[in-house]
Chains A and B, each alone.
Chain A
């Protein structure tokens, strides 16, 4: 059986296909996505964006629509995926996908564009507890993005710049709007960009860490969501969490979509 998970985030749409195979008589799951995720295009509304992402992914995977038996949607815009057979919360989908990829990790940290959260999962990938940012964008990717703009660095340069700094500059502002002013003041006081980048990412990491601490930090942590692509953030987060092992999945932004496809395959939707 082939199932699909579609994750409608605040900025991007991600699609994953999952196929159940029989290996030596036992059912096994194999996942893959050959179509790229698409940025939420400004000229498309949500259901068009979902359609486009799904069509692209089908084409990339060489599948036809009727081969896919079930589509489970997740993410902030999951209710807007009209062709989905059902939907699950992004917390549940993220945990399921993360534990599938890394069965030894029980603490899942998910940092996307507008959300940061810590999730405690059990061995089956079910959510035991979670804590996230609900009211404020501090501790999310949009915060880092805003600051990289203020520093006039691309997100890639921003993350790399941070790695070149060993300074610890505290950021006072938590609010994205205030922090932008603070970054501008730091630029004017001739603080090197790499030190500012590190200060920003340390601030995001410390904020995320405070959320994770509320659910408890276990030895093995898996980090999912788009911020995994920012090596500076990963470094800052490792320091803040103070754990030996932080697993970084290969396609971190697809983990929640994978989780949704898994939940569909397992009939837990």
Chain B
């Protein structure tokens, strides 16, 4: 079976964007954040502490290559060279494997910092729903982490599970959220949390006569319930902000908001870049403090 024969429904949109209104050549300090996650990798470039460009793509099976590919996308689009970047910080689970990074910072700190930039300094609670993890983070008005919780034993309620459902239903992943609302009545959540069991259960529901949309709704509800139980352990304090790939799935997000009784802060930016953005911003703060001119290795 080759990729050409089978449609890859799980594939989400990879994006490379730069802010055409800014000229990086005028900037004093250029920093980059590289977030090598389990499923997706992002590179963000900030000029003088402002978002300039980013690239978001699937993590390959080699962390250094994923990091290089991610940053190369932005560099090519902007005509920048790696040497033009003053300071690079790696984050995410592959953060120690970013060959050109000067420093590594945990993704928890970076997501809080990124969310603080994207959602404003009133953001106190962050839910990061990534490819293989789900974290509830509490932070202060500077975006500094004060508490956090994460799923470290089980992938239930993560993006990987959503990818599995997309493939099973043969529906592109971006359509899952909207389709989950196209049901006559809201079904009960899928009872299994385990990704392996949920797949069988979803198949069973289809065979029992559920429509695809209804199964998707049941799965979105299960994911929402799962992450809400995590975030409630840390307490939701406004403002509330969601980062990570699943933030793009309204089927999950709207159900979380309903369960929590509070709306998440909206952003026009790509929620998946929060970690890399936070890393780039940390780099900027560090450079400002040092007033130094370290150049990328």
Residues of A within 8 A of B (CB): 10, 45-46, 77, 114, 135-137, 140, 142-143, 146, 174-178, 181, 184, 188
9 A-B pairs, CB-CB below 8 angstroms?
A10-B200, A136-B197, A137-B195, A140-B196, A143-B196, A176-B155, A176-B194, A177-B132, A178-B154
Complex partner residue of B38 from A46, A142, A146, A181, CB under 8 angstroms: A181
**With A and B bound together, what is the CA distance between A143 and B195 in angstroms?**
11
B193 on the interface (CB 8 Å rule)? yes
State whether B200 touches A114 (Cβ < 8 A): yes
Known: A77-B204, A176-B195, A177-B155. 17 other contacts (CB 8 A): A45-B208, A46-B207, A114-B196, A114-B200, A135-B193, A136-B154, A137-B196, A140-B196, A142-B196, A143-B196, A175-B155, A175-B195, A177-B132, A177-B158, A177-B195, A178-B132, A178-B154
B160 on the interface (CB 8 Å rule)? yes
Which residue of chain B has the shortest Cβ distance to A146 in the bound complex?
B196
Residues of chain B within 8 A (CB-CB) of A181 are 38, 132
Which residue of chain B has the shortest Cβ distance to A46 in the bound complex?
B207
Which residue of chain B has the shortest Cβ distance to A113 in the bound complex?
B200
**With A and B bound together, what is the CA distance between A77 and B208 in angstroms?**
11
Residues of chain A within 8 A (CB-CB) of B153 are 174-175, 178
B21 on the interface (CB 8 Å rule)? no
Which residue of chain A has the shortest Cβ distance to B191 in the bound complex?
A135
Residues of chain B within 8 A (CB-CB) of A184 are 61
B62 on the interface (CB 8 Å rule)? yes
Chain B 114-154, CB-CB to A under 8 Å as 1, else 0, gives 00000000000000000010000000000000000000011
Residues of chain B within 8 A (CB-CB) of A136 are 154, 194, 197
**With A and B bound together, what is the CA distance between A249 and B204 in angstroms?**
30
| A178/B155 contact (C-beta < 8 A), A135-B193, A137-B194 known | yes
Residues of chain B within 8 A (CB-CB) of A45 are 207-208
Which residue of chain A has the shortest Cβ distance to B160 in the bound complex?
A177
A258 to chain B, nearest CB (A): 24
B41 to chain A, nearest CB (A): 14
**With A and B bound together, what is the CA distance between A195 and B154 in angstroms?**
24
Which residue of chain A has the shortest Cβ distance to B164 in the bound complex?
A177
Q: Which residues 191-221 of B sit at the A interface, judged by CB distance below 8 A?
A: 192-197, 200, 204, 207-208
A210 to chain B, nearest CB (A): 14
**With A and B bound together, what is the CA distance between A140 and B200 in angstroms?**
14
B220 to chain A, nearest CB (A): 18
Residues of chain A within 8 A (CB-CB) of B154 are 136, 174-175, 178
